[in-house]
Chain A
Amino acid sequence: MAKSLGPVKRKFSPWTDPAAVPFIRFENITKRYGDFVAVDNLTLDIYEREFFSLLGPSGCGKTTLMRMLAGFEEPSEGRILLQGKDLSGVPPYRRPTNMMFQSYALFPHMTVEKNIAFGLQQDGLPKADIAARVEEMLKLVKLESFAKRKPAQLSGGQRQRVALARSLAKRPRVLLLDEPLGALDRKLREETQFELMDIQHTLGLTFLIVTHDQEEAMTVSDRIAVMDKGLIMQVATPAEIYEAPNSRYVADFIGDINILECTVTDNAGDCLRDGHPPAVRLLSDGLQIAVEQDCKVAVGDTVGFAVRPEKVRISLDEPEKTGFNTAHGEVWDIGYLGDFSVFLVKLDDGRILRAAQANVSRLVDRPITFGDIVWLTWPLDAGLVLTR
């Protein structure tokens, strides 16, 4: 079955354009519940047609932030601007945002059709227009034959589609999605993620999604805001968040990573390779590390060195001596993931480093196994110095 795909996606990065006007602006937003600060003096810009994710563990304030945009909560301090207009005091039913609820919140006494038509009826559209829009939405989420069913007669995936159709029916300026795919199984979730991106692209809407699932955020978003305890830790594209996290927290939250505590031994700007940034030299408990990175660290500073497992090469043979980025240890555990194997290597000093290897051949018995003495190496541009 050929799946119809939307137009080929183009590079989209209005946040790099200083002249671009933000579509939604959270301006010094603070939200307190009694003594508890849910959102702490947070400022954030979201641009039109952006697919933006708020990512963080539960209780980090991401849902509160979204609910303030929807109008269910008012900020304790600061203001929210939508296309330059202050939303303070505007009730939810007068805001041009629509929300897809985590629980879907479908009206149980109404059919699928009536659920989708609900928002349109509130606007007092003519009956024929409502019917046409409902039909269009049912087609969009591929539920044409379920129009007369009640929510209780649908599966979880179908309910989720009805919820999406209902929230899209009014063509909101901004669609808010609160953990939209949490209740779906993995396969359906992945499928739906791509459908969401497709719908967002086709309709040209701004999507703001709240999730604790980093994979989901990585897949769908143009940009991600990683949050912790009411603060934004980093706002960047998925690739930047993954490859250049700005702190130990972000590095650790997104994906798998090795973090070693180090002391800076040299940052004199000596260039090891032409055309690359100068190398910073670090020492981590006897382990010599060199990183090609422009960073303002001084000799003696305590920093973190982060390197993703898939960038660490594992080998049974002793590599060519370079004097840095080489560790030696014993295979302590192996995680076989099908596409990848993750090796947990116990270094001579007892620390565990993780190295991932793509399983490129169909060998069931891998050459490296438990207890093997292995060498770990990584290139000069694989790791990252983390000062926070």
Chain B
Amino acid sequence: MAETGASSQTNPLRWLVVAVPYLWLFLFFAAPFFIIFKISLADTAIAMPPYAPTFDGFGTIGDFFAQLDFENYQFLTEDPLYINAYLSSLRIAFISTLLLLLIGYPMALAMARARATIRPTLMMMVILPFWTSFLIRVYAWIGILKPEGLLTLLFQAIGVLGPDEQVNIFRTDYAVFIGIVYSYLPFMVLPLYAALEKMDGTLLEAASDLGCPPWKAFWKITFPLSLPGVIAGALICFIPITGEFVIPDLLGGAETLMIGKTLWTEFFGNRDWPLASAVAVLLLLALVVPIVIFQNQQKKVG
């Protein structure tokens, strides 16, 4: 043991292997985050870049630090718009995740129980949408959901709607939910499938043998054993949905309040970079909690 320890310490390649990912994380995660954090402490200004102070060198560094403050964060707590946007994002993410679980679980279960020969085909069908650009798929939903869109035509054709009636869900929260559930479904199905597929089928036979009918066995055996997959799938969906921008922007209406959209408005609409940065920092902090839970869960599983 001692010998391998000594040799690995003297081997510079070993350090390189460790250093590369850390350097990567530093360059593309930590450094940008600190820049954003710094901007969030600044004030807006009519300038290029549109905030002050900017870092002009070490000579004026005392001045530079004196001008930084937490005013933007204070403003976020005072204006209910931002708190509502955060809460609304969490609500939409929560409901979407629940819908994803309700739709994804039966799909994953059906895939796991399907004959081994057709499982790769089913898997392919889940992954296939990734071959088309995400943006194009969301745009396609506009064509389906808009009042004169395909859904209206279909409903009119089969007589659910009269010739003058239209489906009016485009630019509402419903359209956002449809878009989110559609886009994130593979991310829910795949971890669930992975958890369900490796389950030993004889466990269900054993349960049945001991007097447990199949519907009860699902809740007593299958579901508890798939819990790691449920948690993984839920977090993989919940976290990005909370910060989702494209789907609410394209499918949502004026009343769809999501933090990603608010951030975009602050940044591009109001050119208030410091406030937008503060929103981003808080969004990250709000998501750290579920991310930590997720990682702990992964550790337990591994």
Contacts and interface: CB of A to CB of B under 8 A. Distances in A.
Given A107-B221, A109-B225, A101 B205 contact: yes
B211 A101 contact: no
Interface in A105-121: 105-109, 118-119
A125 to B, nearest CB: 11
A145 B146 CA distance: 66
Contacts of B200: 103, 105
A170 interface: yes
Contact of A109 (B210, B212, B216, B224): B224
B212 A107 contact: no
Contacts of B221: 107
A98 B224 contact: no
A93 B206 contact: no
B211 A93 contact: yes
A92 interface: yes
Contact of B210 (A71, A72, A91, A98): A98
Interface residues of A, number: 24
B106 interface: no
Interface string A165-180: 0110010000000000
A4 interface: no
A130 interface: no
B207 interface: yes
A97 B210 CA distance: 8
Given A108-B225, A109-B224, A93 B203 contact: no
Contacts of B211: 93-94, 119, 122-123, 170
A105 B221 CA distance: 11
Nearest to B213: A93
A118 B205 CA distance: 13
A290 B40 CA distance: 107
Interface string B188-218: 0000000000001011011111111100100
B224 A105 contact: no
Contacts of A123: 211
B202 A103 contact: yes
A101 B206 contact: yes
Interface size for chain B: under 10, 10 to 19, 20 to 34, or 35 or more residues?
A: 10 to 19
A118 B207 CA distance: 8
A91 B216 CA distance: 14
Nearest to A96: B211
A99 interface: yes
A91 B206 contact: no
Given A103-B200, A105-B200, A93 B224 contact: no
Contacts of A97: 209
A170 B206 CA distance: 13
B203 A107 contact: yes
A70 interface: yes
A101 B202 contact: yes
Contacts of A92: 205, 208-209
Interface string B249-290: 000000000000000000000000000000000000000000
Nearest to B203: A105
Nearest to A95: B209
A93 B209 contact: yes
A99 B206 contact: yes
A311 B205 CA distance: 47
B208 A105 contact: no
B213 A91 contact: yes
B113 to A, nearest CB: 15
Contacts of A98: 209-210
A106 B206 CA distance: 8
Given A91-B213, A118-B210, A166-B210, A72 B205 contact: yes
Nearest to B199: A108
A347 to B, nearest CB: 50
Contacts of A99: 205-206, 209
Contact of B205 (A105, A106, A108, A170): A105
**Which one of B202, B216, B221 has the highest number of Cβ atoms from chain A below 10 Å of its Cβ?**
B202
Nearest to A94: B211
A70 B207 CA distance: 12
B247 to A, nearest CB: 36
Contact of A122 (B202, B203, B210): B210
B212 A122 contact: yes
Contacts of B209: 70-72, 92-93, 97-99, 167
Interface of B: 200, 202-203, 205-213, 216, 220-221, 224-225
Interface of A: 70-72, 91-94, 97-99, 101, 103, 105-109, 118-119, 122-123, 166-167, 170
9 contacts: A93-B208, A98-B210, A101-B202, A105-B203, A106-B206, A108-B203, A119-B210, A122-B210, A122-B211
User: What 9 pairs between A and B have smallest CB-CB spacing?
Assistant: A119-B210, A122-B211, A105-B206, A105-B202, A92-B208, A93-B208, A99-B209, A93-B211, A122-B212
Given A92-B209, A105-B206, A122-B211, 19 more contacts: A72-B209, A91-B208, A91-B213, A92-B205, A93-B208, A93-B213, A94-B211, A98-B209, A98-B210, A99-B206, A103-B200, A105-B202, A105-B203, A106-B206, A107-B221, A118-B212, A119-B210, A119-B211, A122-B212
